[in-house]
């Protein structure tokens, strides 16, 4: 699908997320789950956005602990504030922010940390 529709991938994020989510390629699964999450958020489909977020975080758990994967995890988390707020799950979001604060600090990325703390 990536080769067939390189100019129209956005139309297929959900399908790509679904297929990669069932494959052994967790890295691609996270990539397309994140993109499907962003697309769902823009369409105000918050339940779907949260489901994509949850799956992306679960797939990140299967990947090696690396700087890149920690950054991906924190970026995913930072972008979920509105989703959790509109789903009345602010406490769950706060708990996630608290849980991942040490990881976010360890990245040493001031821009990402600013976005992280702005969500608190």
Find the length of the chain: 120
pLDDT at 119 over 90: no
Taking the model in full, what pTM does it have? 0.91
Helices (H), 1-120: 13-21, 26-42, 46-62, 67-78, 81-86, 90-107, 110-118
Six-digit token string for 62: 């299967």
CATH class of the region 9-118: mainly alpha
- Find where tokens 């918050």 sit: 46
pLDDT at 120 over 90: no
> What are the domain boundaries of the chain?
9-118
Q: Tens of pLDDT along 45-81?
A: 999 999 999 999 999 999 999 999 999 999 999 999 9
pLDDT at 4 over 90: no
Give me the mean pLDDT over the 7-25 stretch.
94
| Residue 63, SS3 per DSSP | coil
Mean pLDDT of the chain, nearest integer: 94
């Amino acid at each position: 699908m990536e080769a067939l529709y390189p100019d129209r991938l956005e139309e297929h994020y959900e399908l790509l997320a679904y297929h990669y989510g069932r494959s052994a390629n967790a890295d691609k699964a996270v990539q397309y789950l994140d993109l499907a999450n962003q697309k769902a958020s823009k369409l105000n489909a918050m339940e779907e956005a949260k489901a994509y977020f949850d799956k992306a975080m679960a797939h990140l758990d299967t990947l090696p602990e690396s700087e890149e994967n920690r950054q991906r995890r924190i970026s995913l988390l930072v972008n979920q504030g509105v989703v959790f707020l509109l789903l009345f799950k602010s406490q769950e979001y706060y708990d996630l922010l608290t849980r991942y604060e040490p990881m976010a600090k360890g990245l040493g990325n001031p821009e990402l940390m600013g976005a992280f703390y702005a969500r608190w």
